[in-house]
Structure 1
């Protein structure tokens, strides 16, 4: 083993989160001789992909969403379903020995840097000279399992791989008596619904009049699942702050999906504008067939 590998093995490195980025971080740490510890709050690897709605799929083709050194298995859907993504991430974890480093059901509730020159700014956390390991340590407070008790750990380096959606719902502030407290029905955040089993989530919305507030991806996924459960008898209402332009998935002219032309600046050329010049009007006329076909 090279001397640098020996030195790396002596360094204590913690990774928080066993989702896509956490697995990759651990894999590369192992390849460089480190022996990292990965703290994962859930019971398996996969991050958010383990807590999704039944209809959730990867929005990109699988060839565009993969680890460079680990191909997808044969027969996977072009837009994989969420359980296929979880299986892929679990296979990656097994292939590179990441599983052995993960402590499941271990939630990091606090992280504190302790050491010299803590008041000198973020640069000091990198030893002030571009080196990753300085004089201080990272002290993590971790809850294991369902216990309220915590345990302290110290590491030389900390990598946060918790992503943007790490279990903290984005709930707006409401005026007094004008929010969920004044609503006589049940109020759920999309994260709460995603955490349910598929059968429980479907049973919850079955036969109910559902209003979905928001216009993000999860909002339309929930609306689609409500439509699947209730049909036209109990239509789902989506409430958006601003008008949305939803592109459907119609393919025309072979395999060219012209609907995606409407989500960029090219779409402006298809619309006739008041007092537009001759070139703009001519382009709008020539491109009119695209509007009719999409």
Structure 2
């Protein structure tokens, strides 16, 4: 009997899911809303490159070409992903320009579903009590079609589609500003020539301090120099790591390895792993202090007032570290990037008002690199409120690894 699996998204996770289900003898169909594979790598900034060494970001059965540098740029990453899909003949299983409008489970009542323990896994990939109905819109013809499958794998990602926009008091949001306000998602969707033209000659303020904010600030500073410096408005300093090689080893190798995993307590860990993490806790502290000292010294963070209050370990445990672009602080020193800490801010006609300051930061363009609402994006794909509440809506809401059965 044919066992159909729906995979939502043709990024890296979607391609891996497709290859795996094929190897198990199932029939996968991958729905991708865009016209090509690659997920977030299909819409990036011109300066974007991989944050980790390539060997940490590699398919286990498909190594990188030896000609690719240690930190590949966005086009090299996308070429690698396309080569993987082509090599394993995954493209025939992908429906492009296919936007999933909703997922609905047809079978038991919502009350029965609430009593299930499938969210933690049962060992059985297919449930005999019902089927999943996937409503899909063809973005070219605008027609819709309903597919029925026995299993769903969500590979929609956390960092796209639903932007997180800060909330402001009435009359003090973007509507009060006479300039242009966009989210980093809109900037990434522009082709490189259009993006360069869009920021050229403008007094630009970028809000945020993660990877997107840093990359955009670098592009704005390259386009406009110190004549129209880019202001980088941030709430909290974070440990953003440079591409340095202490003892000839990429810094990322020191914390992206299996031994480092033993230093961290994990949900559901057994007694032995819990005991081991406790015993090794001095190493965790020492390692964190080494990275903090090394990065602070190499980037002269104290000179720029950018030493984070929290530890490196806290940042990396919260996934709040990113790769620091080359020459970032050189640009700060030369005046083409201006750092501005602002725990709270609002908009006015001329630009941005930082709480506690009388004069506004006059701007022509504000780019909000403030992240995405990954949970909301995931919730909205379901029709049933019961499944939505598994993600958002209760204190215990969760959906481990997006597993649906």
TM-score normalized by the length of structure 2: 0.60
* Rounded Cα–Cα distance in structure 2 between residues aligned with 1:68 and 1:142: 32
- Residues 79-118 of structure 1 mapped to structure 2, 5 A cutoff: 79-118=71-110
Alignment RMSD, CA only?
A: 3.0
* Rounded Cα–Cα distance in structure 1 between residues aligned with 2:194 and 2:46: 11
1:240-294 per-position Cα deviation (integer Å, ceiling 9, x unaligned): 112455555566x763678999x96315996xxxxxxxxxxxxxxxx9xx94896
Match of 1:28 in 2: 20
Question: 2:125 aligned with 1:132, yes or no?
Answer: yes
| Contact 2:47–2:215 (CA under 8 A) maintained in structure 1 | yes
* Rounded Cα–Cα distance in structure 2 between residues aligned with 1:204 and 1:50: 20
Cα 1:293–1:138 shift into 2, 3 Å: closer
Q: Kindly report structure 1 stretches of 4+ aligned residues shifted beyond 3 Å.
A: 146-149, 243-251, 253-261, 267-270, 290-294
Unaligned runs of 5+ in 2: 256-285, 301-405
Question: 2:248 aligned with 1:255, yes or no?
Answer: yes
* Rounded Cα–Cα distance in structure 2 between residues aligned with 1:46 and 1:266: 36
| Contact 1:113–1:137 (CA under 8 A) maintained in structure 2 | yes
Structure label with greater radius of gyration: 1
1:122-152 per-position Cα deviation (integer Å, ceiling 9, x unaligned): 63658x9542212211111111123443221
Unaligned runs of 5+ in 1: 1-6, 271-286
Match of 1:209 in 2: 203
* Rounded Cα–Cα distance in structure 1 between residues aligned with 2:169 and 2:105: 38
* Rounded Cα–Cα distance in structure 1 between residues aligned with 2:52 and 2:292: 27
* Rounded Cα–Cα distance in structure 1 between residues aligned with 2:244 and 2:156: 36
Q: How many residues align?
A: 266
| Contact 2:54–2:72 (CA under 8 A) maintained in structure 1 | yes
Match of 1:150 in 2: 144
2:194 counterpart (174, 189, 200): 200
* Rounded Cα–Cα distance in structure 1 between residues aligned with 2:166 and 2:137: 28
CA shift for structure 1 position 31: 1.0
* Rounded Cα–Cα distance in structure 1 between residues aligned with 2:249 and 2:62: 29
TM-score normalized by the length of structure 1: 0.81
* Rounded Cα–Cα distance in structure 2 between residues aligned with 1:242 and 1:124: 39
Match of 1:226 in 2: 220
